[in-house]
Amino acid sequence: MSKAIFLFTRDLRLDYNQALTLACKDYEVLPIFIHDESFYFKPLGSASKVWLHHSLNDLKTQCPELSFYQGAFSDVIDTLIKSLDIHAVFMSEAFFPKERQAQQALKSHLKNQSCDFHAINTSLLWHPADIKKQDDTPYKVFTPYYRRGCMAAEEPYLPETLVNPKFITDPNSLSLDSLNLLPKISWDKPMLTYWDISKKGAENSLEAFLTKGVKSYKEGRNFPALNSVSRLSPYLHFGNISVHYIWHQVQKLTQDANSAHFLSELGWREFSYSLLHYFPSMVTQNLQPKFNDFPWQFNQTYFDAWTKGYTGYPIVDAGMRELWQTGYMHNRVRMIVGSFLVKNLLIDWRYGETWFWDCLFDADLANNTASWQWVAGSGADAAPYFRIFNPIMQGQKFDPDGEYTCRFLPELARLPKKYLFSPWEAPPEILDLAGVVLGKNYPRPIVDLSLSRDRALEAFQTLKKES
């Protein structure tokens, strides 16, 4: 048999990987991973590197032939073509702007060497090029995108399983550790106790969700203390599990409002990728140009307090500390902390996006950018500018027993629920009994909610005058 390379990028699995399955049908395959920082739009975040390392380590246990390299794709593959007589290169299709450019450059490079190149979509249910309006323009609003576009399109394919692959290995492979993905100071150790970064971990998360979480998903997903969300996002981002496989497993369930809502959330992921496909500048620029002159007011002290979870608003601080401790944040809380940053603090959404990029295990260029622009109001399908989440009311409504908040703010655990989300309103004797000393073991609010809301609305009014 002729030999081919399979280049893993963000599809770190053997099962239900259509590109790999196709390669193994006709070739002996050398599975490789090349750590090429120039491939990415911006350097991987610190948390992403940790997840990547452990994903690759797990993949190596499944596929001992997996080889590691560092450097430019074309340079590494050139060497392998010559040393191993490679006739084809397979990989998953890239959808992020810079990655697509790198993939096209690699395709052109290989063509000059008479080496076949195949890029197959393994990460999206629908290719962005296939979901467009009747006038052949892209959707800019989620609901018609999903209902008229995705739901009217061909059903996502059911992936094939890999059968009897013929893998080969390269004795010149680097070690995984030599890629230096792990931090020199082991700040990641506590975070890893929350996760099983492996194929089995992904499968167990899906199974737990299908068995229990999905049954209350539509409403339960808003309550961060409940186990009603899948927590599959980092596994999906790195391809530890196939989105096609998840789709079809959910389809096997009795279809109701809960399963339908979960599938629509997979649709939101697709929508984010579609927006990025058609509007690649959105990673750094407002989708709505009228926001380009928005009067953001960056304040380093406020931003530092937000990143550390010391804003004085418990539901915000709990979310930011969950992020710091676990590399993840519940989606409802992401909206709350995002709204607080861009509206109550009037800090540009790009600062929040950058912080999430570095701290989130599921930091995804499409999802992260689209979601931050949604919260800011600058996106294509954005929250209206006057939607400013009140963190006190959000905490009371979605964490009524304080279980989530106290999990990440144990210093407030003895505070009566009446005052949990506004501890500054508690009488001194109540604070004393709870062991809360405002300004010492828990901060006072860094901004006044009412005044900051008025300031935000005033700033947003400038958009109406300019548009």
Question: Same domain for 343 and 431?
Answer: yes
**pLDDT string in tens for the chain (467-residue length):** 899 999 999 999 999 999 999 999 999 999 999 999 888 888 999 999 999 999 999 999 999 999 999 999 999 999 999 999 999 999 999 999 999 999 999 999 999 888 999 999 999 999 999 999 999 999 999 999 999 999 999 999 998 899 999 999 999 999 999 999 999 999 999 999 999 999 999 999 999 999 999 999 999 999 999 999 999 999 999 999 999 999 999 999 989 999 999 999 999 999 999 999 999 999 999 999 999 999 999 999 999 999 999 999 999 999 999 999 999 999 999 999 999 999 999 999 999 999 999 999 999 999 999 999 999 999 987 667 678 999 999 999 999 999 999 999 999 999 999 999 999 999 999 999 999 999 999 999 999 999 999 999 999 998 866 54
**305 lies in a domain?**
yes
**CA 56/CA 319 separation, integer angstroms:** 29
Dihedral (CA of 433, 439, 443, 449) sign: positive
Question: Same domain for 355 and 218?
Answer: no
Tracing tokens 């070690």 back to the chain, one arrives at 175
CATH code (residue 70): 3.40.50.620
Question: Same domain for 318 and 450?
Answer: yes
| Beta carbons within 10 angstroms of residue 309's beta carbon | 22
**What are the backbone angles phi and psi of residue 299, rounded to the nearest 5°?**
-130, 115
Q: How many residues does the chain have?
A: 467
CA Rg value for the chain: 24
Among candidate residues 97, 123, 149, the one where a domain is terminated: 123
137: left (phi over 0), alpha (psi -120 to 50) or beta: beta
Q: How far is CA 355 from CA 26, 41, 350, 440, in A?
A: 44, 16, 9, 26
Question: Same domain for 21 and 116?
Answer: yes
Question: Same domain for 117 and 128?
Answer: no
**CA 390/CA 450 separation, integer angstroms:** 9
Question: Same domain for 344 and 419?
Answer: yes
**397 lies in a domain?**
yes
Query: Tokens representing 109?
Result: 């490079």
Question: Same domain for 386 and 454?
Answer: yes
> What type of residue sits at position 357?
W
Question: Same domain for 44 and 70?
Answer: yes
CATH code (residue 214): 1.25.40.80
Query: Tokens representing 183?
Result: 């931090």
**Domain extent for 137:** 124-158+198-278
Return the closest-CA partner of residue 51 out of 331, 357, 370. 357
With 0-12 / 13-18 / 19 or more C-beta atoms within 10 angstroms meaning exposed / middle / buried, residue 31 is buried
Among candidate residues 223, 247, 278, the one where a domain is terminated: 278
Question: Same domain for 63 and 24?
Answer: yes
Among candidate residues 257, 278, 299, the one where a domain is terminated: 278
Q: Domain total for the chain?
A: 3
**DSSP letter string over 281-314?**
GGGTS-SSGGGGG------HHHHHHHHHT-SS-H
Question: Same domain for 310 and 215?
Answer: no
**DSSP letter string over 373-384?**
HHHHT-STTPPP
Tracing tokens 């500048």 back to the chain, one arrives at 281
Question: Same domain for 424 and 297?
Answer: yes
Question: Same domain for 88 and 152?
Answer: no
